[in-house]
């Protein structure tokens, strides 16, 4: 018992009620506008309905549970027989089921058409605001389609089960399942980025079948039904499909060693594995493994952009919500000029990320040559820049909540921990910058497509005109010095963001973005809101309208 002179804990006045039962689509004008202009107008009603579900207290609770009770490795059964299984909280399976049912793992392939990728992209961004772990296997399943299409036989077997939009968590052969998920295994101990150094071996066993022996240092979603894996075949590094079950229905020799103890992404399992003469089938041609799996990688990079843009919006909304309802020094936080300018700067970053993410997604709907060239350059550029901005935005947003932002009860801590992985996996920062330089050096049509994209905004803002002209002048001289790769990549991404905002956003948004991001060669300040932001209140109102 406390002595009577110690007061009890006071009521929680001036503590902000957490966001619950909101609709992240309805509240996001920038996303709604981008969906319409990039060709996804027909999906508005669908996205509205999904937004209400995703923002519900029930979905947020699932997200919390799936992360609070992370997956557990079950190597053996009680009798010592190998199981190599992973147990998940039921909430994780519910999240996976939701994503599959609503087409995040396959809809643009199963039902292609104008706006299909854009609609999926918007849904992906909505979900990323609430839970990121289940999106990883969903992304890999979605992206694997492009690699499987290199082989008509494998495509005929696997694609219908991917397109079925069903999640079936049972550990049984794929042929007995309503729907399947796929993972990928490239990274080995001696190096993930330099896959040519892979040591995993594949010996031919006849009729495009192989026997694979080796390891993978990171293999996410190890309960997937099959994995696309790189291994050294007689003809060089090649891509293989390793199913969890062999054709005779025995469990394939994929041994799980342990699960990674990760900073974030905790609802999703990532394993270290060994292949002990595992059964595999060749995908594409022997020796063309990198090109084959890069088709998948390109789509994973798209999803890194979408996931980060969604998370950025999510953390900014948490900050805006808190600042609107928390009072300090006699008025709401968002009425203080210095806080208002911080919030406006965060809102600008989010709107720019949203605009670029959906512009990129549209590039996967359009299939003419110019669209392919633009997405070739813009995918790695956007992955680099948006994923680099993500953790910085989240740290600043967290600070808006003060101490409450730093505790695990608030979703901000989890969102913050989720962000860096999008930059690390599937081409970490330097690797995607080198990819941008390769595109500039080898595919001049990419630079032409970028020039056309920027030309559409010409005359809208003097600062953008000067920034774009300087960028295109530099690109005309070629890829340039490898050491300058980050600078050029960043400038490409920021220039396209500015061009999109100048063409499509309210002028206060475009003006503030160009004024704060285009002043120097690098395109962004070292901290958010280092200078006053004109029309900050208006920018904040647009980012999070009062309901």
Structure tokens at 180: 């399947």
Q: Which is nearer to ligand FAD, 209 or 438 (CB)?
A: 438
Q: Which is nearer to ligand FAD, 19 or 440 (CB)?
A: 440
Decide: is 487 part of the binding site for ligand FAD (CB under 6 A).
no
Q: Shortest distance, CB of residue 133 to ligand FAD, whole angstroms?
A: 9
| Interacting residue with ligand FAD among 149, 262, 277, 372 (CB under 6 A) | 262
The CA distance from 122 to 34, in Å, is 9
The CA distance from 201 to 486, in Å, is 35
529, exposed or middle or buried, with CB in 10 Å at 0-12, 13-18, 19+? buried
Decide: is 425 part of the binding site for ligand FAD (CB under 6 A).
yes
Decide: is 220 part of the binding site for ligand FAD (CB under 6 A).
yes
Q: Shortest distance, CB of residue 298 to ligand FAD, whole angstroms?
A: 14
Q: Shortest distance, CB of residue 192 to ligand FAD, whole angstroms?
A: 2
The CA distance from 498 to 106, in Å, is 31
The 3-state DSSP class for residue 231 equals strand
Work out whether strand 226-233 and strand 327-328 pair parallel, antiparallel, or are unpaired: unpaired
Decide: is 257 part of the binding site for ligand FAD (CB under 6 A).
no
Q: Which is nearer to ligand FAD, 200 or 341 (CB)?
A: 200
Q: Shortest distance, CB of residue 294 to ligand FAD, whole angstroms?
A: 13
Give the C-alpha distances (Å, rounded to integers) separating 250 from 170, 274, 370: 15, 17, 47
Structure tokens at 80: 């010592």
390 Cα distance to chain centroid: 11
The CA distance from 39 to 118, in Å, is 7
Q: Which is nearer to ligand FAD, 116 or 299 (CB)?
A: 299
For residue 147, give the nearest of 307, 289, 243, 301 by alpha carbon.
Answer: 289
Q: Which residues in 393-412 contact ligand FAD (CB under 6 A)?
A: none
Count CB-CB contacts under 10 A for residue 268.
Answer: 30
Q: Which residues in 366-395 contact ligand FAD (CB under 6 A)?
A: none
Q: Shortest distance, CB of residue 141 to ligand FAD, whole angstroms?
A: 12
Q: Shortest distance, CB of residue 136 to ligand FAD, whole angstroms?
A: 7
Radius of gyration of the chain (CA): 24
Letters for 65-104 (x = contact with ligand FAD by CB under 6 A, - = none) are ----------------------------------------
Decide: is 142 part of the binding site for ligand FAD (CB under 6 A).
no
The per-residue DSSP string of 312-352 comes to HHHHHHHHHHHHHH-EETTEEGGGSHHHHHHHHHHHHHHHH
Q: Using an 8 Å Cβ cutoff, are 283 and 150 in contact?
A: yes
The CA distance from 24 to 545, in Å, is 12
Q: Shortest distance, CB of residue 409 to ligand FAD, whole angstroms?
A: 24
Q: Is the dihedral of CA 175, 181, 186, 188 positive or negative?
A: negative
The CA distance from 531 to 101, in Å, is 46
The per-residue DSSP string of 194-219 comes to -GGG---EEEEEETTEEEEEEEEEEE
Decide: is 199 part of the binding site for ligand FAD (CB under 6 A).
no
Structure tokens at 13: 């006045």
For residue 444, give the nearest of 499, 374, 380, 368 by alpha carbon.
Answer: 374
Give the C-alpha distances (Å, rounded to integers) separating 54 from 102, 243, 353, 540: 12, 32, 20, 23
Letters for 268-287 (x = contact with ligand FAD by CB under 6 A, - = none) are --x-----------------
| Interacting residue with ligand FAD among 424, 445, 451, 472 (CB under 6 A) | 424
Q: Which is nearer to ligand FAD, 265 or 453 (CB)?
A: 265
| Interacting residue with ligand FAD among 183, 307, 390, 523 (CB under 6 A) | 183
Q: Which is nearer to ligand FAD, 485 or 523 (CB)?
A: 485
Q: Which residues in 446-485 contact ligand FAD (CB under 6 A)?
A: none
The CA distance from 231 to 215, in Å, is 10
Decide: is 428 part of the binding site for ligand FAD (CB under 6 A).
yes
* Binding footprint of ligand FAD, residue count (CB under 6 A): 23
Decide: is 43 part of the binding site for ligand FAD (CB under 6 A).
no
The region of 192-200, 443-451, 452-460, 489-497 touching ligand FAD under the rule CB under 6 A is 192-200
Decide: is 421 part of the binding site for ligand FAD (CB under 6 A).
yes
Q: Shortest distance, CB of residue 435 to ligand FAD, whole angstroms?
A: 11
Q: Shortest distance, CB of residue 238 to ligand FAD, whole angstroms?
A: 15
Decide: is 258 part of the binding site for ligand FAD (CB under 6 A).
no
The CA distance from 339 to 539, in Å, is 13
Q: Which is nearer to ligand FAD, 98 or 218 (CB)?
A: 218
Q: Is the dihedral of CA 103, 106, 109, 115 positive or negative?
A: positive
Structure tokens at 541: 């109102």
Q: Which is nearer to ligand FAD, 115 or 297 (CB)?
A: 297
| Interacting residue with ligand FAD among 158, 218, 240, 416 (CB under 6 A) | 218
Q: Which is nearer to ligand FAD, 39 or 380 (CB)?
A: 380
Q: Shortest distance, CB of residue 324 to ligand FAD, whole angstroms?
A: 34
Q: Using an 8 Å Cβ cutoff, are 182 and 144 in contact?
A: yes
The region of 338-346, 354-362, 424-432, 458-466 touching ligand FAD under the rule CB under 6 A is 424-432
Decide: is 429 part of the binding site for ligand FAD (CB under 6 A).
yes
State which residue has the least CB distance to ligand FAD: 192
* Positions in the binding site for ligand FAD (CB under 6 A): 183-187, 191-194, 218-220, 262, 265, 270, 421, 424-426, 428-431
């Amino acid at each position: 018992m406390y002595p009577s002179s110690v007061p009890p804990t006071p009521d929680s006045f001036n503590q902000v009620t957490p966001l619950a039962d909101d609709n992240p689509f309805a509240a996001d004008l920038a996303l709604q506008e981008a969906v319409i202009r990039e060709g996804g107008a027909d999906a508005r009603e669908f996205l509205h309905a999904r937004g209400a579900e995703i923002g519900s207290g029930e979905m947020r609770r699932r997200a919390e549970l799936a992360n609070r009770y992370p997956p557990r490795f079950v190597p053996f059964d009680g009798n010592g027989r190998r199981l190599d299984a992973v147990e998940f909280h039921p909430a994780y399976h519910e999240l996976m089921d939701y994503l599959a049912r609503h087409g995040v793992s396959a809809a643009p392939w199963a039902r292609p058409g104008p706006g299909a990728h854009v609609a999926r992209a918007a849904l992906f961004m909505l979900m990323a605001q609430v839970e990121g772990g289940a999106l990883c296997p969903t992304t890999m399943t979605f992206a694997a389609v492009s690699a499987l299409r290199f082989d008509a036989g494998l495509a005929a077997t696997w694609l219908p089960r991917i397109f079925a939009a069903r999640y079936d968590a049972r550990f049984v052969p794929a042929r007995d399942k309503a729907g399947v998920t796929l993972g990928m295994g490239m990274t080995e101990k001696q190096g993930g980025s330099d896959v040519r150094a892979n040591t995993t071996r594949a010996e031919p066993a006849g009729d495009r079948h192989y026997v694979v022996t080796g390891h993978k240092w990171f293999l996410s979603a190890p309960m997937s039904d099959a994995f696309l894996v790189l291994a050294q075949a007689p003809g060089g590094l090649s891509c293989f499909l390793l199913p969890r079950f062999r054709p005779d229905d025995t469990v394939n020799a994929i041994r799980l060693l342990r699960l990674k103890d990760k900073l974030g992404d905790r609802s999703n399992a990532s394993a270290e594995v060994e292949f002990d003469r595992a059964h595999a089938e060749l995908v594409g041609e022997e020796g063309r493994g990198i090109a084959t799996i890069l088709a998948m990688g390109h789509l994973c990079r798209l999803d890194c952009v979408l996931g980060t843009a969604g998370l950025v919006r999510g953390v900014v909304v948490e900050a805006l919500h808190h600042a609107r309802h928390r009072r300090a020094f006699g008025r709401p936080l968002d009425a203080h000029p210095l806080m208002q300018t911080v919030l406006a700067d965060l809102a600008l970053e989010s709107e720019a990320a949203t605009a670029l993410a959906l512009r990129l997604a549209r590039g996967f709907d359009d299939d003419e040559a110019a669209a392919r060239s633009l997405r070739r350059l813009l995918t790695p550029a956007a992955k680099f820049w948006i994923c680099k901005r993500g953790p910085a935005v989240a740290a600043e947003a967290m600070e808006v909540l003060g101490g409450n932002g730093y505790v695990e009860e608030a979703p901000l801590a989890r969102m913050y921990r989720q962000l860096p992985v999008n930059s690390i996996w599937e081409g970490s920062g330097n690797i995607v910058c080198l990819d941008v330089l390769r595109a500039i050096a080898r595919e001049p049509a990419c630079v032409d497509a970028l020039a056309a994209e920027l030309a559409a905004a010409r005359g809208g803002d003097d600062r953008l005109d000067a920034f774009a002209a300087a960028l295109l002048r530099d690109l005309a001289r070629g890829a340039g010095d490898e050491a300058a790769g980050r600078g050029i990549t960043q400038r490409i991404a920021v220039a396209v963001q500015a061009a999109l905002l100048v063409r499509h956003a309210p002028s206060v948004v475009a003006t503030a973005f160009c004024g704060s991001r285009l002043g120097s060669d690098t395109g962004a300040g070292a901290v958010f809101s280092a200078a006053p932001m004109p029309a900050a209140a208006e920018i904040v109102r647009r980012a999070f309208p009062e309901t």
